[in-house]
């Protein structure tokens, strides 16, 4: 029994340490240095099933298959690695975390019982690392504290009234309203300026004089005797 206890990573700029189906652990660096020939496995168990997990259950069996988790299998084994995958001390530029639940392609593939598939519900879960030489357990860490994943909010729980608006949302709305008012005022001023300019320009044109047309009567037509028409 080793004194190391797995825990969620605290490396800074990593985002999404816990999601709805995954979580990120620190790698067990400098933990299994005395077990160079062992394979190191991660055991993921339901919180209430951690104390009853049997180390003699080997990886890749029906009793520890991911595809049967969480019922009837209460704990599965995944992410096997050799000691070379966890060098000590840490080298510059090394990725020193493990994302549990990141494989989707094998989640339903029963030929891959050690799949690192998405976790089926928020948990809580506990994890530990187990070193096996062949099928023989030779060392193990302590169990982690319970790990609970994020839960998506139900649409019914999202407030729709004005009181549910955040201060940031109100500030953004106020700023946009002010900018719109400024833009509208500028547009009105521009229209007034253009209108006054067109009126002053029209005064330069003189009013055209009226043209009179004299009317002529064709007297020779009306003076003809009726007999000659």
pLDDT in tens, 84-103: 899 888 877 778 999 999 99
- Taking residues 135-162, what's their average pLDDT? 80
Q: Work out the pLDDT band at 185, boundaries 50, 70, 90.
A: confident
Q: Is 174 helix (H, G, I), strand (E, B) or coil?
A: helix
First to last CA, the chain: 141
pLDDT of residue 205: 46
Q: Is 91 helix (H, G, I), strand (E, B) or coil?
A: coil
- Cβ count near 35 (within 10 Å): 17
Q: How many CA atoms lie within 13 A of 105 on its CB side?
A: 0
pTM of this prediction exceeds 0.85:
no
**What's the CA gap between 77 and 68, in Å, rounded?**
12
| Contact by Cβ (8 Å): 50, 144 | no
The DSSP letter of residue 142 is P
- Least Cα distance to 64 among 54, 22, 132 occurs for 54
| Contact by Cβ (8 Å): 150, 20 | yes
Which region holds residue 167: left if phi is over 0, alpha if psi is between -120 and 50, else beta? alpha
Strands 97-100 and 23-26 turn out to be antiparallel
Poorest-pLDDT segment among 23-32, 105-114, 131-140, 177-186: 177-186
């Amino acid at each position: 029994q080793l004194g190391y206890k797995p825990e969620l990573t605290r490396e800074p700029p990593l985002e999404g340490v816990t999601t709805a189906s995954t979580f990120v652990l620190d790698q067990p660096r400098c933990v299994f240095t005395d077990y160079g020939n062992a394979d190191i496995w991660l055991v993921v168990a339901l919180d209430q099933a951690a104390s009853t997990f049997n180390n003699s259950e080997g990886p890749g069996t029906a009793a520890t298959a991911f595809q049967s988790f969480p019922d009837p299998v209460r704990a599965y084994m995944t992410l096997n690695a050799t000691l070379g995958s966890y060098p000590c001390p840490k080298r510059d530029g090394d990725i020193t975390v493990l994302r549990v639940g990141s494989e989707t392609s094998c989640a339903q593939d029963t030929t891959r019982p050690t799949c690192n598939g998405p976790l089926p519900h928020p948990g809580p879960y506990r994890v530990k690392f187990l070193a096996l030489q062949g099928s023989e357990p030779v060392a193990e860490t302590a169990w982690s504290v319970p790990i609970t994943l994020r839960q998506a909010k139900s649409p019914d729980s999202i407030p729709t009234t004005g009181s549910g608006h955040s201060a940031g949302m109100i500030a953004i709305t106020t700023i946009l309203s002010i900018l719109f008012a400024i833009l509208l005022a500028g547009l009105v001023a521009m229209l007034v300026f253009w209108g006054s300019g067109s009126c002053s320009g029209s005064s330069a044109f003189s009013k055209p004089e009226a043209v009179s047309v004299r009317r002529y009567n064709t007297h020779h037509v009306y003076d003809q005797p009726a007999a000659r028409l």
